[in-house]
Amino acid sequence: MRVGFIGLGSQGGPMARRIVEGGFELTLWARRPASVEPYADTAAKVASTPAELAAASDLVCLCVVGDDDVREVLTGESGVLAGLAAGGVVAIHSTVHPDTCRELADIAAAQGVTVIDAPVSGGGPAVEEGTLMVMVGGEDDVVERVRPVFATYSDAIVHLGALGSGQVAKILNNLLFSANLGAAMSTLELGDALGIPRDRLCEVLHRGSATSKAVGSITVFGGSLEGLAPIAGALLQKDVRHAASLARHAGAPEGTVFHVADTALRLMEHGR
């Protein structure tokens, strides 16, 4: 299978490297030439446009930031769909609203291209260890066809159901992560009031039964969200908004998890 990869950031970059090192023919495209320079020591080829990349690919993986970025890369004048042949597959690794995936799948289907959603969780270190989590929504046979590519960077490829279900799972994951950040910060503030040194309480929470990835992230950044906010604040804000949209559409109450998530967003100055 020939693979094209777009979105060579802190997470997508290591994913692309794992694919080419796994023996797949890989083509890359990036807006900035500097983004593809780190792959000069690999067999990866570089395309001048997303359409050119797509013409050399059977599977195109997108790991760009948000909904508008995915739309632009796919449907622009020189976008992926301008070059991808019938029978091709687009895997959306970006975290976007499930309706965006369905909208783009309808456009792609008109030219015989299939879209699946495959958002990921774990970050660059998990990619390098081959332990990234991939949450997939799409047709069974298509998911099985691309599974060997995903397996180059993931040991946890979870097929959740129809197109869009992977995005729902990822959005809920990030909603809970945000809530965990909020709960942990509230606990640390209570510890301050009760006279427990914050650095010591971080150590207890990180190594005790209350630990979570959120607690670990707060501990790494010295017991606050100040260091995490520039990295994750806007992304978590986007995903909590998506979760609220899904809840409204389903007629479900937002519940406690949203209130605690909002605490973290406000502390990162990215209030909903």
Q: Could you give the angle at which helices 67-75 and 98-109 cross, rounded to 10 degrees?
A: 10
Beta-strand relationship, 59-62 and 2-6: parallel
Pairwise CA distance, residues 186 & 60, whole Å: 42
Amino acid making up residue 197 = P
The count of residues in the chain is 272
Amino acid making up residue 249 = H
> Is 213 in the active site?
no
Beta-strand relationship, 89-92 and 25-29: unpaired
Cα-to-chain-centroid distance, residue 26? 20
Pairwise CA distance, residues 93 & 117, whole Å: 6
Question: Tokens 């670990």 — which residue?
Answer: 216
Pairwise CA distance, residues 267 & 189, whole Å: 12
Q: Whose CA is closest to 172, among 103, 246, 101, 62? A: 246
Pairwise CA distance, residues 149 & 152, whole Å: 6
Contacts of 199 (CB under 8 A, 6+ apart): 222, 223
Indicate which residue of 45, 170, 213, 238 is catalytic. 170
Amino acid making up residue 145 = R
Neighbour count for residue 30 (Cβ, 10 Å):
20
Just list the catalytic residues.
170
